[in-house]
Amino acid sequence: MELEYTYWKSKDGWFVGYLNIWPEHLTQGKDVSELEEMLRDLYTFYKEV
């Protein structure tokens, strides 16, 4: 399954993003790889709720 997401690098160096299906739920990571991991966790959490 592929999920589309949007992300950007903040002024303080963190990568901030959200899943396009839930734009109101932001998460962040030190790099894109960590951000993607956090987005997967976010998807898993909300899919189970």
User: Residue ranges of the alpha helices (H) in the chain?
Assistant: 32-48
Q: What is the pLDDT of residue 14?
A: 98
Residue 32: give the domain boundaries.
5-48
Phi-psi region of 39 (alpha: psi -120 to 50; beta: other; left: phi over 0): alpha
Kindly report, residue by residue over 1-49, the tens digit of the pLDDT: 789 999 999 999 999 999 999 999 999 999 999 999 999 999 999 888 7
Q: How many domains does the chain have?
A: 1
Q: What is the pLDDT of residue 47?
A: 87
Q: What is the pLDDT of residue 5?
A: 98
Q: What is the pLDDT of residue 48?
A: 80
